[in-house]
């Protein structure tokens, strides 16, 4: 692993499709980071709502890449392609970061030159515009998972570009669980990882979340991911 300079450039990629309602909160949380070297890249994945206008408010504080609607995996991959940072991160367009997140994770990389990925804990919150009736209709509201704090959500990652190059990009063929698939491939290399004990990422739950739709297809994607993981495990065992 290469030794990082005191404040390595961090590139954060936001892929967005029709995200005008919450995108400004995601971008604001990035621009509020108490870290001096940050590149914010927003990939507009063919939005048909007011997303371009939201992005335009930020001027040259945000790098914009427009593309047709190829999906979140391709959008994130293209964002990495045009990025310049030694360290990479991703933020979902409806999530928010604690202002300390990137600085604390960058400190971890400076402390451990062999570290490849640092994540943290994520809290969940229901978007305030959802009515009580809407909450009762949402299957996730009855589940205890959203009341917990969990690591390894994509918005919690900070990783070395070298790790990205070793793992490769997100699979464009996967419409769901593409981040879980990427993390599984990285872990199977294996990689050197550190999870900070702090809650530094806040994940919004709302009626348009991908996790609220097409549960059967999501489960099929997870099954595909686990099958690929087991195949990699068997290959290593056979060597």
**pLDDT for the residue numbered 169:** 98
**What is 83-143 written as a DSSP string?**
---SEEEE--TT-EE-TTHHHHHHHHHHH-TT--EEEEEEEEEE-TT--HHHHHH-GGGGS
- Residue 207 banded pLDDT, cuts 50, 70, 90: low
Q: Are 43 and 14 in contact (CB under 8 A)?
A: yes
pLDDT at 164 over 50: yes
pTM: 0.84
**pLDDT for the residue numbered 229:** 44
**pLDDT for the residue numbered 143:** 74
Q: Phi, psi (5° rounding) for residue 110? A: -70, -35
Distance (Å, rounded) from C-alpha 197 to C-alpha 182? 22
- Residue 125 banded pLDDT, cuts 50, 70, 90: confident
HSE toward the beta carbon, residue 166, CA cutoff 13 A: 18
Q: Are 4 and 31 in contact (CB under 8 A)?
A: no
pLDDT digits (tens, 9 = 90+) for 168-200: 999 998 888 899 999 999 999 999 999 999 999
Q: Are 168 and 162 in contact (CB under 8 A)?
A: no
pLDDT digits (tens, 9 = 90+) for 43-72: 999 999 999 999 999 999 999 999 999 999
User: Residues with Cβ < 8 Å from 138, sequence gap 6 or more?
Assistant: 130, 205, 207, 212
**pLDDT for the residue numbered 142:** 62
Span 117-133, average pLDDT: 85
Q: Give the chain's domains with CATH numbers.
A: 10-238 (3.90.550.10)
**pLDDT for the residue numbered 132:** 73
């Amino acid at each position: 692993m290469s030794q990082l300079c005191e404040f390595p450039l961090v590139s954060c990629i936001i892929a967005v499709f029709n995200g005008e309602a919450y995108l400004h909160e995601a971008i604001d949380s990035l621009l509020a980071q108490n870290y001096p070297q940050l590149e914010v890249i927003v990939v507009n994945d063919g939005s048909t709502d007011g997303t371009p206008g939201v992005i335009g408010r930020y001027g040259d504080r945000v790098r914009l890449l427009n593309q047709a609607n190829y999906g979140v995996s391709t959008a994130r991959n293209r964002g990495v392609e045009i990025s310049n940072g030694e360290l990479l991160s991703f933020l979902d367009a409806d999530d928010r970061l604690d202002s300390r997140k990137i600085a604390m994770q960058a400190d971890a990389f400076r402390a451990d030159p062999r570290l490849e990925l640092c994540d943290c804990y994520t809290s969940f919150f229901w978007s305030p515009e959802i009515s009580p009736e809407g909450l009762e209709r949402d299957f996730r509201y009855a589940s205890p998972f959203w009341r917990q704090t969990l690591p390894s959500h994509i918005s919690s990652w900070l990783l070395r570009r070298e790790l990205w190059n070793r793992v490769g990009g997100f699979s464009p063929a996967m419409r769901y669980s593409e981040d879980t698939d990427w993390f599984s491939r990285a872990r199977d290399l294996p990689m050197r990882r550190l999870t900070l004990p702090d809650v530094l990422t806040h994940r919004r739950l709302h009626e348009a979340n991908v996790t609220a739709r097409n549960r059967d297809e999501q489960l099929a994607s997870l099954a595909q991911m686990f099958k690929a993981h087991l195949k990699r495990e068997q290959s290593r065992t056979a060597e």
